[in-house]
Chain A
Amino acid sequence: VSRKSERLVNLTIALLATKRYLTKAEIFRTVAGYTGDSEAKDRMFERDKEDLRSLGITIELGTFDPLFEDEAGYRIKAEHYQLQLKNIDPLSIALLSQAGKLWREAALGPAAQSGLRKLRSIGINSDLDSIVEITTSSYSAPEQLPELIEAITSRRIITFEYLDQELVSHVRRVEPHRLSNSRGYWYLIARDCDKAAIRTFRLDRFNSSIDISGKTDAFEIDLESLDTVDSNFGDEPQFAVLHVRKGKSPSLRNEAVISELDSEWDQITIQYQSQDQLIREVLWAGENAILISPHDLREQLIGSLKKVVASHV
Chain B
Amino acid sequence: MSNQSAPIQEVSRLLDLVPYLSTHSHISLKELALEFGISEKSMANELTALSMCGLPGYTPYELIEIFFDSGFVTINNHDTLDIPRALTQLELASLLIGLEILRDSAGDNELLIAKIDSLLVDMKALMGDVIKIDENPVSRFQALISSAIESRSSLSLDYRSPLKDEVTSRKVDPLEIRSERENLYLVAFCHLAQAVRNFRLDRVEQVTMIGTTERSHEPLTLAEPEVISARVKVLGDRRSISEALSIVEIATSGEAVVEIFSPLWISKATIAHAPYIELLEPAVVRDSVRELAENILALYSS
Give the interface segment out of B49-57, B65-73, B187-195.
Answer: B49-57
Q: How far does the alpha carbon of A31 sit from the alpha carbon of B54 in the complex, in Å?
A: 9
Q: Contact mask B105-139 → A, CB, 8 Å, 1/0?
A: 11101011001100100110011111111110110
Cβ of A256 < 8 Å from any Cβ of B?
Answer: no
What per-residue 1/0 map shows which CB atoms of B84-105 lie under 8 Å from chain A? Answer: 1111111111111111011001
A133, B23: Cβ atoms under 8 Å? no
For the complex, is B226 an interface residue (Cβ under 8 Å from A)?
A: no
Q: Which residues in window 60-88 of B have CB below 8 A to A?
A: 80-81, 83-88
Q: What residues on B are CB-neighbors of A134 within 8 Å? A: 102, 105-106, 112, 143
A: contact size bracket: 35 or more
A110 touches B45 (CB 8 A): no
Q: Please, how many residues of chain B have a CB less than 8 angstroms from a CB on the other chain?
A: 121
B225 in contact (CB, < 8 A)? no
**B218 contacts chain A at the CB level, 8 A cutoff:** no
B299 to chain A: closest residue by CB: A290
The reply on B282 being an interface residue by CB < 8 A is no
- How far apart are the CA atoms of A52 and B24 in the complex, in Å? 26
Which residues of A, 134-158, contact B by the 8 Å Cβ criterion? 134-141, 145-147, 149-150, 152-153
Among candidates A4, A8, A135, residue contacting B143 with C-beta atoms closer than 8 Å: A135
User: Are the C-beta atoms of B123 and A85 separated by less than 8 Å?
Assistant: yes
Q: Which residues of A contact B (CB under 8 A)?
A: 1-2, 4-6, 8-10, 12-14, 16-17, 30-32, 51-52, 54-57, 78, 80-87, 91-92, 95-96, 98-103, 107-123, 130-131, 133-141, 145-147, 149-150, 152-153, 163-167, 177-185, 205, 212, 221, 223, 230, 247-251, 276, 280-281, 283-288, 290, 298, 301-309, 311-313
Listed in ascending order, the chain B residues whose CB lies under 8 Å from chain A are 1-4, 7-8, 10-12, 14-16, 19-20, 22-24, 35-37, 45-46, 48-50, 52-58, 80-81, 83-99, 101-102, 105-107, 109, 111-112, 115-116, 119, 122-123, 126-135, 137-138, 142-143, 146-147, 160, 162, 165-167, 177, 179, 182-184, 202, 205, 236-240, 242, 250, 268-275, 278-279, 286-287, 289-290, 292-297, 299-300
Query: A114-B12, A117-B35, A181-B133 known; 16 other A-B pairs, CB under 8 Å?
Result: A5-B7, A6-B52, A96-B99, A98-B98, A102-B98, A108-B90, A120-B20, A137-B177, A137-B179, A153-B90, A180-B131, A248-B166, A283-B272, A284-B269, A305-B271, A308-B289
